[in-house]
Amino acid sequence: MAGHDSVHMDPALVKYANMYVKRHEYFRWTPRTAWISIAYVLAVPAAAMYTAYKVEGKWDLRGKLRGDTISEF
C-alpha cells in the first residue's frame, strides 16, 4: 500500500512559494525600484488622464443612424 510519503513536493515550487509569501522581507528601495514606482504611481495615471481629457467629447456613439459619423469635432 502507498504510504503518506509517496508524493513529494517539488523543491523548486516550495522555494518559490516561500519567496512569494516573504517577498516584503526581501524588498529593498534601489534607484531602479524607485523610478519604477514613480512611473506606475504618477506617470501612468497622468498619461491616462491627459488622454482622457484630450479625447473627451470627440465621439458620440448614442443615437446614431446608419451613415452618420461618430466624430463630433
- Over the chain (73 residues), the average pLDDT of each successive run of 10 is 69 93 92 94 95 85 75 67
Please check whether residue 26 is in contact with residue 19, taking contact to mean a CB–CB distance below 8 angstroms.
yes
Residue 8 lies in a domain: no
- The single-letter code of the amino acid at 31 is P
DSSP 8-state secondary structure symbol assigned to residue 64: P
Residue 17 lies in a domain: no
Residue 5 lies in a domain: no
Please check whether residue 46 is in contact with residue 61, taking contact to mean a CB–CB distance below 8 angstroms.
no
What is the reported pLDDT for 2? Answer: 55
Residue 47 lies in a domain: yes
Three cell numbers written together for 19: 519567496
Report how many domains make up the chain.
1
What is the reported pLDDT for 1? Answer: 53
Residue from 52, 51, 69 nearest 60 by CA: 69
The length of the chain in residues reads 73
| β-sheet bridge partners, residue 59 | 71
Residue 49 lies in a domain: yes
Residue 4 lies in a domain: no
Residue 24 lies in a domain: no
- Give residue 40's domain range: 33-58
Residue 44 lies in a domain: yes
